[in-house]
Amino acid sequence: MGRYDYKYDHAADPMEPEPGQTIEHAIGDVIIGFEELDDAISFAISGILNRGDDMGRIVTSQLSFRNKVDMFGALVKHDRPDSTLAKLIDELCAGCLSVEEERNKIVHSKWSRSFEKPGIQRSKFTARVKHGLKETSETWHPGHFVSVWVHCGYLAHEIDSWMWGEYGRQYAPNALEDDDPAPREGYEHEIP
């Protein structure tokens, strides 16, 4: 995974857990990491709105993760349309949504251990008009959970870095609308 490669792909960058880390610990890390990503997006929305942290929390607290990601992308495109961040925002948002899919698999699946296979078995039943009752089953290894957790942290860091670069003091905790706004010229990163 290189810089600006926001899409989650476990197979392209497999990871291994720390020695002694259990699958249960790795699942907990994913949940914590995902909430940090969710919070980074909420904080970014608050920074763009430039109305203080409380107002930002009021705006974002009732939104689903997907709606926060959509709002974040729309605000960046509207507020800084010529910035490098605006050029990358679709990829960044797509990465957030792809890691949410993995998190949802973890949280909304049944997990069971098998003595015959290494790893842990994931199963999920769905019922749709299109295909009726369907069971999805796959084996996950501890490194898969670690990869999801690390990717959540990577995306949260990228959002924070881009926001600081683009908005400066306006993005700081407890920044208010009467703070001097950041200059409107774009914050430029080299895009490989």
How many structural domains comprise the chain? 1
**pLDDT of 135-163, one tens digit each?**
999 988 888 899 999 999 999 999 999 99
Q: Is residue 16 part of a domain?
A: no
Provide the total of helices (H) and of strands (E) in the chain, helices listed first.
5, 3
Distance between CA atoms of 98 and 111, rounded to whole angstroms? 21
Q: Is residue 184 part of a domain?
A: no
Q: Is residue 131 part of a domain?
A: yes
Domain span holding position 98: 23-171
Task: Please identify every stretch of the chain with a pLDDT value under 70, giving residue numbers as ranges.
Answer: 1-5, 7-14, 172-192
Q: Is residue 134 part of a domain?
A: yes
pLDDT for 1 equals 40
DSSP letter at 190 equals -
Distance between CA atoms of 67 and 173, rounded to whole angstroms? 22
Q: Which two tokens stand for residue 34?
A: 């995902």
Q: Is residue 95 part of a domain?
A: yes
pLDDT for 2 equals 44
Distance between CA atoms of 9 and 30, rounded to whole angstroms? 15
**DSSP letter for each residue of 8-27:** --TTTS---PPTT--HHHHH
